[in-house]
């Protein structure tokens, strides 16, 4: 006797017909688009960083979209202005996630602002790619949904310590740093490397964010008589220190964080930059090579009046990373597949813009090497392409 389970067949058919397509089920993903969000300062004092960061990303994604997108999907980038205020960062991020239903968060700017949304994004396992900050918050303890690209400040400090001792052969080393989580993290990595090699700093001189007078700092440095000053600061205080140090008669060498290896330093400090060495995690925006030339072409196509610079090129490289993750994830895109795809990346260099870096299932720390550069006649010249611990 033949038995036909008609109810089961009908129910199964109904379930198949009622299951939405993958594009309908995944937030931010449709048949022809993937929507991502970027909380960033587009107004206020930090907009001088936020606007070029956003434009670098927009230019790269436009370039990808003009070629047909990834697996037939165009990338839609939603920008939300948080004015670099942590409470607003949380508010606009919640909007991006809950109302706009973005697939992922891309390049959120800043440490205090990023910290405000950290728990929220971790709890929801929303991919966060390339935070625009070198804080170790994003990787310690390990967070599976966070993927760092730029070197973590502590790692950078250790690399710079090695350069100071092994290459510059410095022994009387002073540190000038910003007295907040940014400056302290870079300082700590640097001093740790020195201590592990039997060297102690002759002076540790902090400055407060917002300080404008650096005469006392320069005098303290002169009294310490260093043969090298490691500078972990932001551009205006760093340039002010160079001017005051020259005025009070300090003659020494300077080694600076990658945050300062930007053309802006030549505009701020002029000839005082000559001979200064620094780290860099990106090629110079004006480099004549093919990688930087391609970046400039993308930027010009999207924003003809935008001047190439360190912030926009950093987002260009970060966008290349995001796109590589989409490519590897395949057409059947989900957040989980995207995370797994990023974890397969090995020796990625964003088309030659960065030192090679890799991810794995338990390491999302990004770049662990620096190019070492020196200021010569108003330009950054590469001394060593890749230097690491």
The Cα–Cα gap between 378 and 34 comes to 41
- Strand, coil or helix: what is 204? strand
| Gyration radius from the chain CA atoms | 24
Residue 89 half-sphere exposure toward CB, CA atoms < 13 A: 24
In order of start, what are the domains of the chain with their CATH numbers? 24-150+287-358 (3.40.50.2300), 153-280+372-387 (3.40.50.2300)
Beta strands per DSSP E along the chain: 33-40, 74-81, 104-106, 128-129, 146-147, 173-178, 203-207, 228-232, 254-256, 277-280, 370-376, 379-387
Give the DSSP H/E element, type plus range, for residue 278: strand 277-280
With a CB cutoff of 8 Å and minimum separation 6, the contacts of 78 are: 35, 36, 37, 38, 96, 100, 102
Q: Map tokens 């979209």 to a residue.
A: 65
Instruction: Return the H-helix or E-strand segment holding 176.
Output: strand 173-178
Q: What is the pLDDT of residues 306-333, one digit of tens each?
A: 999 889 999 999 999 999 999 999 999 9
| pLDDT value for 24 | 53
Tell me how far the alpha carbon of residue 14 is from its chain's centroid.
48
DSSP string, 128-149: EE--BS--GGGTSS--TTEE--
Note the pLDDT of residue 235: 87
> In the prediction, which pLDDT does 79 show?
99
Do the beta carbons of residue 382 and residue 372 sit within 8 Å?
yes
Cβ atoms within 10 Å of 144's Cβ, excluding its own: 15
Residue 253 has what pLDDT?
99
Which parts of the chain register pLDDT below 70? Answer: 1-24
pTM for the whole structure = 0.83
Q: How far is CA 71 from CA 140, 360, 377, in A?
A: 33, 24, 46
**Helix (H), strand (E) counts: the chain:** 13, 12
Q: For residue 55, give the H/E element and its range.
A: helix 47-66
Contact at 8 Å (CB) between 271 and 279?
no
**Are β-strands 104-106 and 370-376 bridged in parallel, bridged antiparallel, or unpaired?**
unpaired
């Amino acid at each position: 006797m033949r038995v036909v389970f008609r109810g089961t067949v009908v129910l199964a058919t109904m379930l198949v017909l009622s299951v939405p397509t993958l594009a309908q089920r995944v937030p931010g993903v449709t048949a022809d688009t993937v929507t991502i969000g970027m909380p960033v300062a587009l107004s206020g004092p930090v907009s001088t960083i936020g606007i070029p960061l956003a434009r670098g990303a927009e230019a790269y994604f436009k370039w990808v979209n003009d070629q047909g997108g990834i697996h037939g999907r165009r990338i839609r980038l939603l920008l939300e202005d948080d004015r670099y205020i942590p409470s607003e960062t949380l508010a606009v991020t919640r909007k991006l996630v809950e109302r706009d239903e973005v697939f992922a968060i891309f390049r959120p700017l800043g440490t205090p602002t990023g910290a405000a949304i950290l728990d929220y994004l971790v709890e929801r396992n929303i991919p966060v790619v390339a935070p625009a900050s070198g804080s170790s918050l994003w990787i310690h303890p390990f967070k599976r949904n966070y993927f760092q690209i730029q070197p973590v400040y502590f790692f950078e400090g250790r690399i710079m310590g090695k350069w100071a001792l092994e290459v510059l052969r410095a022994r009387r080393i002073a540190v000038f740093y910003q007295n907040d989580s940014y400056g302290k993290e870079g300082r700590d990595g640097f001093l740790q490397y020195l201590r592990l090699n039997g060297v102690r700093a002759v002076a540790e001189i902090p400055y407060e964010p917002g300080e404008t007078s650096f005469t006392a700092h320069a005098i303290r440095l002169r009294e310490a008589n260093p043969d090298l000053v490691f500078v972990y600061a932001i551009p205006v205080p760093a340039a002010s220190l160079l001017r005051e140090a020259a005025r009070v008669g300090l003659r020494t060498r300077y080694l600076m964080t990658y945050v300062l290896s930007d053309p802006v330093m030549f505009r701020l400090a002029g000839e005082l930059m000559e001979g200064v060495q620094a780290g860099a995690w990106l090629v110079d925006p004006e480099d004549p090579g093919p990688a930087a030339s391609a970046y400039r072409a993308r930027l010009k196509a999207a924003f003809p009046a935008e001047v190439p610079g360190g912030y926009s090129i950093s987002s260009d490289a970060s966008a290349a990373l995001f796109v590589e993750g989409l490519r590897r994830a395949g057409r059947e895109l989900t957040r989980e597949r995207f995370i797994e795809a990023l974890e397969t990346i090995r020796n990625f260099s964003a088309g030659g813009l960065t030192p090679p870096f890799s991810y794995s299932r338990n390491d999302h720390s990004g770049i662990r090497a620096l190019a070492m550069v020196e200021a010569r006649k108003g330009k950054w010249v590469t001394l060593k392409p890749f230097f690491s611990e």
